[in-house]
Homo-oligomer: A and B are copies of this chain.
């Protein structure tokens, strides 16, 4: 199952770090940009190659120290067909390197439409009896606003193709509380979603004791992480917000169970663009090493905090 593959990688690499690929063209080293603008002109075709080369180098630098990468499809989608092609190539390359790929697509729609998204991002598209993978990855993020008959369609492909999903429960952005924190009776909306997720989780428990149906729980709201951990004991958390968004390792600890498992922590900009940080002395062409160093620092930071709390799987 997806979740067993994830936990195995977490243990083997002793890492809960997920590298988020949110490429901003203007932040990609200039020498890469120039190389392809010279070859293809100022075109989206050039951008595809720039995104691909940048993403490939990041993967080559982190594949052995993190269990998963999380490409954010929006940053590819904004470059059209060529951007989507770069997204696809990067997902496929990461999988070849043994990484689990979490497509941060945040899709979600009514039943039949969610089914199409599930086929496109988790399953296989049938054409005259032949099966094709459109943008299939190991797991995707899903938006719950439309309720269970949306999630149900993703469940079908999760079971059929041995995939996973992380449902948005409590997001890391400043205005996330506007709807998610509202109190409906005795429960907050994110708690209602947590109960939906927990119910689906119980249908896809792996031998590791966790489920292939996970939850997105922003690290920027630690007290809520603790509450949600209690509401979804068997649910793996995908935790955004570490680093650039302001959350620290101590903020993330409540998302882990006593066994030291239960959460993977994403960082995007702070890792992939570490070379450009003011306090760093990296040269532009060392952006890959800089990303690896940042991912190693983050792994150590989280592991040290887990050890201090006695939340340890090794």
Name A156-184 residues within 8 Å CB distance of B. Answer: 168, 171-180, 182-184
Interface presence of A117 (CB below 8 A): yes
Please, how many angstroms separate the alpha-carbon atoms of A178 and B199 in the complex?
A: 14
Q: Which of B77, B112, B176, B179 contacts A117 (CB 8 A)?
A: B77
9-residue interface stretch from A9-17, A128-136, A247-255, A290-298: A128-136
Is A302 in contact with chain B by the CB < 8 A criterion?
Answer: no
A99 within 8 A of B: no
The answer to whether A178 and B120 touch (CB under 8 A), given A77-B135, A81-B81, A128-B42, is no
Shortest CB distance A272–B (Å): 14
A185 nearest in chain B by CB position: B183
Interface centre among A74, A109, A134, A240 (most CB of B within 10 A): A74
Instruction: Check if A300 is an interface residue, CB within 8 A of chain B.
Output: no
Q: Does A262 reach chain B (CB closer than 8 Å)?
A: no
Besides A77-B135, A83-B134, A110-B240, 9 other A-B contacts (C-beta < 8 A)? A42-B129, A78-B125, A81-B84, A84-B84, A110-B172, A145-B145, A145-B171, A146-B168, A179-B193
Residue ranges of A at the interface with B (Cβ–Cβ < 8 Å)? 22, 25, 37, 42-44, 46-47, 72, 74-75, 77-81, 83-85, 88, 106-114, 116-117, 119-121, 125, 127-130, 132-135, 143-150, 168, 171-180, 182-185, 189, 192-193, 196, 240
